[in-house]
Amino acid sequence: MSATPDPDTLHPIPGSPGVVFLRPLLARHPQVANVTAGAFSYYHDDDPEAALRFLELCVRYNYGEGRLSIGRWCAIAHRATFLMPGANHAMAGPSTYPFGILGGAFADALPLPDYPWRGGGDITIGHDVWLGTECLVLPGVTIGHGAVVGARAVVAKDVPPYAVVAGNPARVVRMRFDEATIARLLATGWWDWPAERVIRAIPALVKGDVAALEDVARAT
């Protein structure tokens, strides 16, 4: 039997340097403690060098405020972008301009800590989520397990598990499965299984046979 792929290999696909597993990539940047990714989640960039710059190119305005948590088995396409809370400006007064960032007398007039920043909250990406090319996920958004986000969608509110969303702002186009099937899929929690059990479940996972997936769960 072939060896199980190593989730801590940076480039998991031979000959495809634009694909990187995020967990080992993030391990190279321990100073960025507020961004995490689970095993087997990958990012693909058309430019192999840019793939290694995921934190710079895809996690924008990350000044340490809020968290970005990406689950296991996620597929993140070219230049999908996460807008961290540091992108938000104060909107309580007539102007949204952040005068204080320029320092000097501007900062003396109103120190940056005294600005009524909007905040925005953490970004949470569930397990087995597919984020399409150049989509944008805004602060405070949770994307449920098994969801699909269309290319260039702007996700401004939470996405239910196993929903397909598209557009600006992103709206639910359809649900991948009916409510009963979604409940059964969530109950399996297959993304928490060890890789060896997932391997046995791959035919059921790819062909969409929920009963067969449940059989794998019961057999192990």
Q: How many CA atoms lie within 13 A of 183 on its CB side?
A: 3
| 89 included as an active-site residue | yes
**b or e along 110-129 (b: 16 or more beta carbons within 10 Å of the residue's beta carbon)?**
eeeeebebeebebbbbbbbb
What contacts 179, CB < 8 A, 6 or more positions away?
A: none
pLDDT (tens digit per residue) in 139-153: 999 999 999 999 999
Can you read off the two tokens belonging to residue 73? Answer: 């088995």
pLDDT (tens digit per residue) in 118-172: 878 999 999 999 999 999 999 999 999 999 999 999 999 999 999 999 999 999 9
pLDDT (tens digit per residue) in 2-43: 888 999 999 999 999 999 999 999 999 999 999 999 999 999
Q: From CA 45, how far away is CA 57, in angstroms rounded?
A: 10
Q: Which residue in the list 11, 44, 78, 89 is annotated as catalytic? A: 89
Average predicted confidence (pLDDT) for the chain: 96
For residues 216 and 197, is the Cβ–Cβ distance under 8 A? Answer: yes
Cis peptide before 113 (omega within 30 of 0): no
